């Protein structure tokens, strides 16, 4: 098993608040790993510390065996990241943004083939700011895949997508996974997590409250449906389990 993402004893605080509290996780090649938790649980902070865009207070992170803080250049070609809208300038078209992004990489995928796969090829000439929320979201996944990455980080994967588009995105990601892509995602949709994730980690107030497969999460909870189990793990009042 090739460990593509390795996190050991990662901790990050903002002043008094410990946003990520001593977490360990591991994702193998070709795996879809889901980082879950309620708003404010620490998902984005964890991803930023893994990517090295935020400096952790403590812990070890390796992506493809490399320290992201020390060897950013080496990882740049191999890691795709879905950024949020604010990262882009206002007056740029979809085609321009795709071309500029592709020009940054030695072996980029064909951006127009990706736009077609994600059903937004007809928007090439539109300004990014004029796209609908769901079209933007699809574009941001396309941009993350342009490097032809070995591992991709997708934060709130299909937020804003309609039901059909979500299914299409799941299918494309499943195909890429079959080809060996490692996918690290966050999502608030439990049907999506069930459809895609091989392994999940549920955070509550920065701590891991469950780590394993979706079916194990259900088995170790008092519920039969994953969404009910998930809510139980994330609810401070209700649960008092010792899964970790």
Ligand X SMILES: Nc1ncnc2c1ncn2[C@@H]1O[C@H](COP(=O)(O)OP(=O)(O)OP(=O)(O)O)[C@@H](O)[C@H]1O
Smallest CA-to-CA distance from 51 within 200, 194, 202, 154 is with 154
Report the 10 Å Cβ neighbour count for 22. Answer: 14
Q: Between 36 and 55, how does the x/- string for binding to ligand X read (CB under 6 A)?
A: -x-xxxxxxx----------
Query: What is the C-alpha radius of gyration for the chain, rounded to an integer number of angstroms?
Result: 18
Q: Which is nearer to ligand X, 150 or 192 (CB)?
A: 192
| For ligand X, the closer CB: 108 or 187 | 187
Q: How far is the CB of 46 from ligand X (least distance, A)?
A: 7
Q: Tell me which residue has tokens 């990662």.
A: 10
The token duo for 140 is: 């941001």
Q: Does 177 bind ligand X (CB under 6 A)?
A: no
3-state SS assignment for residue 7 = strand
Contact at 8 Å (CB) between 135 and 115?
no
Distance CA 129, CA 126 (A): 8
> 168 vs 205, which CB is nearer to ligand X?
205
Residues 6+ apart with CB under 8 A from 53: none
Task: Name 65's bridge partners.
Answer: none
Nearer to ligand X among residue 135 and residue 187 (C-beta): 187
Nearest distance, CB of residue 14 and ligand X, angstroms? 3
Nearer to ligand X, 177 or 204 (CB): 204
Maximum C-alpha span of the chain: 54
With binding defined as CB under 6 A, does residue 183 bind ligand X?
A: no
Question: What residues between 184 and 243 interact with ligand X by CB under 6 A?
Answer: none
Q: How far is the CB of 35 from ligand X (least distance, A)?
A: 8
Which window, 12-20, 60-68, 144-152, 225-233, contacts ligand X (CB under 6 A)?
12-20
59 touching ligand X, by CB under 6 A: no
Which of 19, 141, 193, 229: binder of ligand X (CB under 6 A)?
19
Strands 58-63 and 3-14: antiparallel
User: Counting contacts by CB under 6 A, is residue 34 touching ligand X?
Assistant: no
27 in helix, strand or coil? strand
- 160 part of the interface to ligand X, by CB under 6 A: no
Look-up: residue for tokens 């938790």? Answer: 37
- Of 32-40, 110-118, 192-200, 220-228: span binding ligand X (CB under 6 A): 32-40
Residues lying near ligand X in the complex (CB under 6 A) are found at 14, 17, 19, 37, 39-45
């Amino acid at each position: 098993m090739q460990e593509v993402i390795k996190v050991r004893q990662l901790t990050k605080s903002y002043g008094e608040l410990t946003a990520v509290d001593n977490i360990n996780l591991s994702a193998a090649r070709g795996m879809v790993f889901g980082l879950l938790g309620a708003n404010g649980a620490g998902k984005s902070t964890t991803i930023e510390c893994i990517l090295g865009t935020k400096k952790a207070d403590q812990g070890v992170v390796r992506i493809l065996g490399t320290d992201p803080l020390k060897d950013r250049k080496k990882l740049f070609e191999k890691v795709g990241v879905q950024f949020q809208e604010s990262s882009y300038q206002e007056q740029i078209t979809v085609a321009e943004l795709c071309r500029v992004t592709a020009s940054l990489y030695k072996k980029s995928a064909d951006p127009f083939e990706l736009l077609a796969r994600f059903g937004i090829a007809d928007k090439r000439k539109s300004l990014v700011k004029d796209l609908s929320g769901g079209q933007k979201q699809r574009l941001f996944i396309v941009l993350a895949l342009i490097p032809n990455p070995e591992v991709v980080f997708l934060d709130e994967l299909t937020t804003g997508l309609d039901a059909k588009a979500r299914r299409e995105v799941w299918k494309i990601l499943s195909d890429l996974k079959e080809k060996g892509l490692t996918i690290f995602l966050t999502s608030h949709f439990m049907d999506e997590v069930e459809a895609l994730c091989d392994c999940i980690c549920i955070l509550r107030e920065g701590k891991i409250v469950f780590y394993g497969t979706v079916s194990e999460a259900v088995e170790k909870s008092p519920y039969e449906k994953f969404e009910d189990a998930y809510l139980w793990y994330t609810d401070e009042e209700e649960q008092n389990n010792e899964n970790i």
